[in-house]
A and B are shown apart, each in its own frame.
Chain A
């Protein structure tokens, strides 16, 4: 008897007529135990890989992004008020702050998304699928740290309902769910979500002071008793505070303006303002290594997208019309969400091209369009969300032509004899 005993769980099984209860039970049961299903038609043996394992490895690959992202939330805050500015000063405050910011975002994104998923699975009478595992892990990483939770919830509802369930669930969606949620926020609440505001948490920009909520100050007692530094309400911001990201500086003054504020090393390690998961290029590179070594994400998409960014960047360098265009092409990888999009967003197997040749084209054009939007469009600071959503829509068309080429090759062969 115990939590890990099959017999124990079998006794708890609700009747199949209670759709929602049985659906939830089935979801939990198959999470705990690999079901005892045997092969009935076709092959008598089957390989060990299943969708749950595939998905969990993608989630594992982004764990370092979570760790560094959470720490960076706190780090950016203390940079803004000019205290504990050393990287490893007051680690406890930065961690507590990052976690208290990230945890609600993660909980809301997953609770709302999984709730919808469970409901639709029960209504349609099919098992709960694991697709949301990755989406739910991706959404917090692409959100600004200071996002209001209700906005997050609304965006997740929109994305999962319209992007996924309307198309038939896991494997059927046309566009990337996580990016759809981001796009919804981006267009629905443009003032709250872009510009210089949302990247630094717990500051009252109007009055120029730090503004902690109870989620932070509740730690004060603990830290005080240990003799550590505490959150101090009302600390003034530093004089020339600006929450701007590297992209904003680059738009106004090119790479020189960026390096006035951040070093290349800082950009690489992740000590800059930005969405939670995108800032640390190191963490993303670790994720890329995991994904490629385990053969989970497509190296073709990653490579061709990198080539797309590089070539477009070189093109802009040659054009050299304004300061942004003259940013050396390799530095585009260090700014914004380019690398995160390359690792986790473009490689989503459902919404990407499904033919190997198509993947090359798909990745390249994401790289191209993303950089064009980033550099040439004054309205949007970053281009990857729009570029990937655009190519998601075109992926079936690319596949169609690749597959059609195979068909006409076969027809030509038939006629040739």
Chain B
């Protein structure tokens, strides 16, 4: 009997595999025996995976710090934009508390609010923190409150007499409005919502669809709280909640009274240590979420935990909002204090500070040369002087924030000031051999291959506006079962039925912001999405 080379090889390979299998099984058994002898749990030692489920979990990437029986969501798609100018992580005791002479609340931070809300305080009136400043004439029950005490300074108006800012000249010592707190154990939904609406804490509760301030006449099917922010340069909520764990828990208790459904709290599974306020929260359903940005966005979390269907309403808050509710019910005061990150490559020293909502950024940016004079020659050959904006100041993160000026105020929900260099430069063959670095997932750039490099951000559009050409690139960074490009086309075509069918009601601008970042055609996706949401909202 003759053996061909092929059969010989196959037999040899089979023997080698068999040998390896015997070797690993043997060593696995030995390790387990040794563990048992030393009084350890043999299941947590070994060479081979214990069983098939654990093998599957390894593939799903459940980290060890996530409890075994906890709800866990691993998101594969996404992208962390690495930028220079992250605020340095410090101990909470080292964070300075800062104040500014004026504070402001900006009605335009609230989606769908009428351009001229009714301001109920007059110029020169004395106000306390928590006193009502204004309300929307369409929804007069919802009161918007002053973050600090002081004197009502002015109403800053913009185009067509719309109100841009309601400005308060702050006191040195904060005075708080007195509240008549309801008893949480016996309070009904109506009593509690009426109290919160009047207290000024209600606007912290927003709803999906539309991301407007929650509609109190429609109790939600669930309430979502996200406890981490994956946006570029965003501060960690762990520091804000430090020392205020009891207030956070109280805030969650208040929320449980507002819904017949569950309160879902998402916990960051990317970090081995997160605040115990989040991991030990009680009375709520906790979900560990792992993944790159936009994993921290509440819209993504809602999609994976309890998605919004047509006709559904869910509410959502960030940690600041829960803390405001919690402080209201523990200390009886309206306290909007939060950790604010001063970030971006243009600020001298990116850092964290404690500040109240609506703080003026004047002192933070005093040293930044935000404007510069440039001289260039015009067609006639004469020298012309123009003022060029050199640094853009953004309230919020660089993907979704609002541009403000040097004397502007941080937005209602914002806990971040971002400074970005203006990118109004020409670049010779910039599309072919870029000399400036930008974070990207596209592998035709060195930055797409080398992951851990941080780049200086600028506001260059990096190309020209084009029709949709590339397909599949939005899906790469959006961890949702959704077709963003088809949705955008449906919005542009005013196709209401298709918009809803494709899940527009699940989305907010922040969710789609990363798609806009990676878009090859430079399509303004956030604006298109908001136009679509406005159309549906106006239809009723």
Knowing that A44-B403, A127-B464, A409-B481 are A-B contacts, what are 4 other residue pairs whose CB atoms are under 8 Å apart, sorted by A's residue number? A44-B457, A46-B517, A354-B486, A414-B312
Given contact pairs A35-B426, A50-B462, A41 touches B521 in the complex (Cβ within 8 A)? no
B428→A33 contact, CB < 8 A? yes
Residue in B418, B460, B485 whose Cβ sees the most chain A Cβ within 10 Å = B460
B432→A53 contact, CB < 8 A? yes
Interface string of B450-489 (1 = CB under 8 A from A): 0000000111111110111111100100000111011000
Cβ of B392: which chain A residues have Cβ within 8 Å of it?
A: 44
Q: Is A52 an interface residue (CB 8 A)?
A: yes
Task: Give the CA-CA distance A41 to B527 in the complex, in Å.
Answer: 7
Given contact pairs A47-B518, A51-B466, A411-B501, A34 touches B445 in the complex (Cβ within 8 A)? no
Cβ of B440: which chain A residues have Cβ within 8 Å of it?
A: 47-49
B442→A47 contact, CB < 8 A? yes
Q: Is B346 an interface residue (CB 8 A)?
A: no
Task: Give the CA-CA distance A43 to B232 in the complex, in Å.
Answer: 12
Q: Is A406 an interface residue (CB 8 A)?
A: yes
A37→B460 contact, CB < 8 A? yes
Interface string of B498-522 (1 = CB under 8 A from A): 1001110000010001001111111
Q: Is B399 an interface residue (CB 8 A)?
A: yes
Q: Is A84 an interface residue (CB 8 A)?
A: no
Residue of B nearest to A44 (CB): B398
Given contact pairs A34-B427, A293-B443, A410 touches B501 in the complex (Cβ within 8 A)? yes
B468→A171 contact, CB < 8 A? yes
Interface string of B356-398 (1 = CB under 8 A from A): 0000000000000000000011010000000000001010001
Interface string of B187-225 (1 = CB under 8 A from A): 000000000000000000000000000000000000000
Residue of B nearest to A168 (CB): B467
Q: Is B422 an interface residue (CB 8 A)?
A: yes
Task: Give the CA-CA distance A15 to B26 in the complex, in Å.
Answer: 82
Q: Is A54 an interface residue (CB 8 A)?
A: yes
Task: Give the CA-CA distance A42 to B522 in the complex, in Å.
Answer: 11
User: Min CB distance, B142 to chain A, in Å?
Assistant: 27
A43→B426 contact, CB < 8 A? no
Cβ of B307: which chain A residues have Cβ within 8 Å of it?
A: 413
Residue of A nearest to B221 (CB): A417
Q: Pick the contact of A43 from B83, B458, B469, B513 — CB < 8 Å?
A: B513
Cβ of A43: which chain B residues have Cβ within 8 Å of it?
A: 398-400, 513, 516-517, 526
Question: Which A residues from 47 to 86 make CB contacts under 8 A with B?
Answer: 47-54, 56-57
A11→B472 contact, CB < 8 A? no
10 closest A-B pairs by beta carbon, nearest first, are: A50-B463, A34-B430, A171-B467, A407-B501, A414-B309, A42-B526, A354-B471, A48-B438, A34-B427, A52-B431
Question: Which A residues from 343 to 361 make CB contacts under 8 A with B?
Answer: 349-350, 352-356, 359
Q: Is A227 an interface residue (CB 8 A)?
A: no
Q: Is B525 an interface residue (CB 8 A)?
A: yes
Task: Give the CA-CA distance A359 to B377 in the complex, in Å.
Answer: 53
Task: Give the CA-CA distance A35 to B430 in the complex, in Å.
Answer: 9
A53→B444 contact, CB < 8 A? yes
Q: Is A162 an interface residue (CB 8 A)?
A: no
B309→A45 contact, CB < 8 A? no
Task: Give the CA-CA distance A169 to B467 in the complex, in Å.
Answer: 9
Q: Is A323 an interface residue (CB 8 A)?
A: no
Given contact pairs A50-B431, A170-B467, A41 touches B526 in the complex (Cβ within 8 A)? yes
Residue in A32, A129, A295, A410 whose Cβ sees the most chain B Cβ within 10 Å = A410
User: Min CB distance, A308 to chain B, in Å?
Assistant: 19
B521→A171 contact, CB < 8 A? yes
Q: Is B19 an interface residue (CB 8 A)?
A: no
Residue of B nearest to A295 (CB): B443
Q: Is A146 an interface residue (CB 8 A)?
A: no
Q: Jot down 30 A-B pairs with beta carbons below 8 A, ordered by A.
A: A11-B379, A34-B426, A38-B424, A39-B461, A42-B524, A43-B517, A43-B526, A44-B398, A44-B403, A44-B457, A45-B81, A45-B398, A45-B459, A46-B461, A47-B438, A47-B517, A48-B440, A49-B462, A50-B522, A53-B444, A168-B467, A169-B467, A352-B471, A355-B483, A403-B502, A408-B501, A410-B501, A410-B502, A410-B503, A413-B307
For the residues of B in contact with A, the DSSP-based class is: loop
A binding-site residues for B, Cβ under 8 Å: 4, 6-7, 11, 30, 32-39, 41-54, 56-57, 127, 129, 131, 168-172, 293-296, 298, 349-350, 352-356, 359, 399, 403, 406-411, 413-414, 417
Cβ of B399: which chain A residues have Cβ within 8 Å of it?
A: 43-45
Cβ of A413: which chain B residues have Cβ within 8 Å of it?
A: 307, 309
Given contact pairs A46-B462, A53-B444, A293-B443, A355 touches B471 in the complex (Cβ within 8 A)? yes
Task: Give the CA-CA distance A129 to B519 in the complex, in Å.
Answer: 16
B binding-site residues for A, Cβ under 8 Å: 81, 83, 232, 307, 309-312, 376-377, 379, 392, 394, 398-401, 403, 418, 420, 422-432, 434, 436, 438-445, 447-448, 457-464, 466-472, 475, 481-483, 485-486, 498, 501-503, 509, 513, 516-522, 524-527
Cβ of B513: which chain A residues have Cβ within 8 Å of it?
A: 42-43
Q: Pick the contact of A50 from B448, B464, B503 — CB < 8 Å?
A: B464
Task: Give the CA-CA distance A46 to B521 in the complex, in Å.
Answer: 11
For the residues of A in contact with B, the DSSP-based class is: loop
Task: Give the CA-CA distance A56 to B448 in the complex, in Å.
Answer: 17
B469→A171 contact, CB < 8 A? yes
User: Min CB distance, A89 to chain B, in Å?
Assistant: 38
Given contact pairs A171-B521, A356-B475, A406 touches B502 in the complex (Cβ within 8 A)? yes
Cβ of A410: which chain B residues have Cβ within 8 Å of it?
A: 309-310, 501-503
Task: Give the CA-CA distance A356 to B478 in the complex, in Å.
Answer: 14
B516→A32 contact, CB < 8 A? no
A47→B519 contact, CB < 8 A? yes
Cβ of A37: which chain B residues have Cβ within 8 Å of it?
A: 424, 460-461, 464
Task: Give the CA-CA distance A30 to B486 in the complex, in Å.
Answer: 29
B470→A42 contact, CB < 8 A? no
Cβ of A56: which chain B residues have Cβ within 8 Å of it?
A: 431-432
A54→B460 contact, CB < 8 A? no
Cβ of B485: which chain A residues have Cβ within 8 Å of it?
A: 354
Residue of A nearest to B466 (CB): A51
Cβ of B438: which chain A residues have Cβ within 8 Å of it?
A: 45, 47-48
Cβ of A42: which chain B residues have Cβ within 8 Å of it?
A: 400, 509, 513, 516, 524-527
B459→A39 contact, CB < 8 A? yes
Cβ of B502: which chain A residues have Cβ within 8 Å of it?
A: 403, 406-407, 410
Cβ of A293: which chain B residues have Cβ within 8 Å of it?
A: 443
Task: Give the CA-CA distance A94 to B424 in the complex, in Å.
Answer: 50
Task: Give the CA-CA distance A143 to B521 in the complex, in Å.
Answer: 30
Cβ of A172: which chain B residues have Cβ within 8 Å of it?
A: 467
Task: Give the CA-CA distance A408 to B501 in the complex, in Å.
Answer: 7
B463→A36 contact, CB < 8 A? no
B310→A354 contact, CB < 8 A? no
Task: Give the CA-CA distance A352 to B471 in the complex, in Å.
Answer: 9
Task: Give the CA-CA distance A46 to B81 in the complex, in Å.
Answer: 10
User: Min CB distance, B232 to chain A, in Å?
Assistant: 8
Residue of A nearest to B434 (CB): A48
Given contact pairs A33-B426, A44-B403, A406-B502, A51 touches B520 in the complex (Cβ within 8 A)? yes
Cβ of B425: which chain A residues have Cβ within 8 Å of it?
A: 36
Q: Pick the contact of A34 from B431, B444, B447, B521 — CB < 8 Å?
A: B431
Task: Give the CA-CA distance A298 to B471 in the complex, in Å.
Answer: 9
Cβ of B526: which chain A residues have Cβ within 8 Å of it?
A: 41-43
Task: Give the CA-CA distance A411 to B497 in the complex, in Å.
Answer: 11
Residue of A nearest to B497 (CB): A407
